[in-house]
Structure 1
Amino acid sequence: MTDTITREELHHRKLDLRFYSRSDGLYEVVAEMMDTKSHEFRLQLRDQALAPGTPIHHMIMTLVIDEYLVVKDIKAQMKATPFGVCLEAQNTLSGVIGLQIGPGWTKKIKDLLGGSASCTHLMELLGPMATTAFQGMAPKRMQAVDRPENEHMRVGKVNSCYAYAEHREVIARLWPDLYKPKAGS
């Protein structure tokens, strides 16, 4: 049977997230987001349509953290926005300084920046930025997790995701003392 379904791209959101180690001992997560349309598009309150491929949103956000994932600084650049007033949202992020990336991060961010308090897109970028920071710090954490004094780190990994389920092979092989076979196996 021949596949007769065709598709046409209408919108393209591009995300690029990177993690950096800085010479001052801190770390940066940089997120860039760009939205474009594949066809001419007229934004609300604008007389002229945007040509295909012209950014509707183009934002770059930098999150500075320490080794404990505590936010030391945050900055946003909004290079393209649908409304001029959107640029003011760059100045709404200071409440994130001092927060620690970890359990409850997403709720704290939504409580702080949700709705009309800030830009939805900047707020949403903080989720993947947090996981990028976590992945960027993974080599440090992995070195520490097997030290005897860090049992709390091992216990914290158990059931934190699919692979680290207490009844799966990953836990059985890494930390047999924390392995719990699935009932009925």
Structure 2
Amino acid sequence: MPLSAPAAREPIHTRRVTCDGFRRADGLWDIEGHLVDTKHYEFRNEFRGTITPGEPLHQMRLRLTVDDSLTIVAVEAATEHGPYALCPEITPSFQALVGLRIRPGFTLAVKERLGGARGCTHLVELLGPMATTAFQTVFPILSRERAAEAGKRPVLLDSCHVFAADGDHARRHWPDFYTGPARSA
């Protein structure tokens, strides 16, 4: 269901976040994130001069390379546009993500490594949708491939409430791994 019609209003700021997942030929996975902030009005910036409507104030990219367990094995960060000359200098700090696994607690672990002055707010925020994209990229493919392997526990089992081991989906699709109450015939 769509949102209701808005009140009369004027556009001010747009943030676009795009995340893409790729399977690499070497068996790893690349998750790429792209964040762009634009204003709908012209303003002066101390570092860059006049920024026109639609010109990126922020434009950052991240690439996480992960393995099948969603452990980050490589990181590349880039700041193409920022409001300050120092913005791109923080990108090497994102190497602190190498070895971190995308799983519950990931956001907290990222903030411990790159929160506040240790990182870039915008690149750190981009990691949230990238983590979701990693999950959506890797697990459906692995689940489908492993479904052919009899007796293997489905990768998606217990990953969310729909895939709960004691839920209806598990009962119907993965009866060997269903843990809920037996249904009477």
Q: TM-score range by the shorter chain?
A: 0.7 to 0.9
Matched-pair contact (CA < 8 Å) for 1:72–1:97: yes
Residue 172 of structure 2 aligns with an amino acid whose one-letter code is: R
1:16 to 15, 18, 27: 18
Q: Please, which runs of 5 or more residues in structure 1 have no aligned partner?
A: none
SS in 2 for 1:56: strand
Matched-pair contact (CA < 8 Å) for 2:48–2:83: no
| Aligned equivalent of 1:148 | 151
Deviations 1:29-82 (A, max 9, x none): 111110000111233x34833111110000111111122211111011111001
TM-score, length-normalised on structure 1? 0.82
Aligned residue runs from structure 1 range 1-185, under 5 A: 5-43=7-45, 45-46=46-47, 48-137=49-138, 138-144=140-146, 147-150=150-153, 153=155, 157-158=157-158, 160-165=159-164, 168-176=167-175, 177-180=178-181
Deviations 1:103-140 (A, max 9, x none): 22111111110011010111111121111111111221
SS in 1 for 2:163: coil
Distance 2:152 2:169 in 1: 21
Structure 1 residues 102 and 47, CA, compared in 2 at 3 Å: closer, same or farther?
closer
Distance 1:126 1:4 in 2: 30
RMSD: 2.4
SS in 2 for 1:95: helix
Residue 66 of structure 1 aligns with an amino acid whose one-letter code is: D
TM-score, length-normalised on structure 2? 0.82
* Residue 170 (structure 1) shift: 2.4
Structure 1 residues 9 and 167, CA, compared in 2 at 3 Å: closer, same or farther?
farther
Structure 1 residues 180 and 81, CA, compared in 2 at 3 Å: closer, same or farther?
farther
Number of matched pairs: 174
Matched-pair contact (CA < 8 Å) for 1:166–1:180: no
Q: Please, which runs of 5 or more residues in structure 2 have no aligned partner?
A: none
Deviations 1:134-176 (A, max 9, x none): 111122124436842427x56xx33x43423567532342345
Residue 103 of structure 2 aligns with an amino acid whose one-letter code is: G
Task: Compare the two structures and name the one with the higher strand fraction.
Answer: 2
